[in-house]
Each structure stands twice: as structure tokens, then as C-alpha cells.
Amino acid sequence: MGLIERQSGEFDGSGPERAIPVESVADEYRWVLLHLPGFGLQKQSVVRVDGTFYDRMDLRDGQGQERQVYFRIDRFSPPT
């Protein structure tokens, strides 16, 4: 079982304080496929909060429901 499959409710991605730790961008897309089926990417951006880098995905499903998910990306190289 990999990192993505082991995520607990503590890391639901609803904000920077609950960001999902990942080891690659591929892990982010895999998490979305596993946990938010039917949601598609609208926008992806890197944000910095209190010195920590996060990838934020803005997602939308077929009914127009929107969701933002934060991934903690300091396990791999943040942008310079």
C-alpha cells in the first residue's frame, strides 16, 4: 500500500493545514482519481503559505460542484 492509499482523514486536502503530503505530481492526480472520481482539473497552481509550498488543484465535477484540494509538495523540489 502506497502513501496515497494510506492517507487518513487528518489529510483531506481542504486547506494548507490539512494538505495531503505527496512525493510527486503523479501522486496528486492519483489521489484525485481515487478520492474524487468524476472531478476534473480546472486550474492548478503553486502557492506558498508560511514558507511552505503547496500545489492547489481547483476541481469541478459534472454537476458543477467545485472543490479545492491542497497537496504539500516539500517532499520533492519546490519551485525556485
- What are the residue boundaries of the structural domains of the chain, listed by start? 16-72
Mean confidence (pLDDT) of the chain: 88
Q: In what order do the strands lie in the sheet with 20-21?
A: 20-21, 66-72, 52-60, 40-49
Residue 17: DSSP 8-state: G
Residue 76: closest CA among 28, 30, 7: 28
Indicate if the pLDDT at residue 2 is higher than 60: no
**What pLDDT sits at residue 5?**
46
Q: What is the pTM of this model?
A: 0.84
Residue-wise pLDDT for 12-42, tens only, equals 999 999 999 999 999 999 999 999 999 999 9
What residues contact 10, with CB distance under 8 A and at least 6 apart? 18
- In this structure, the chain runs to a length of 80
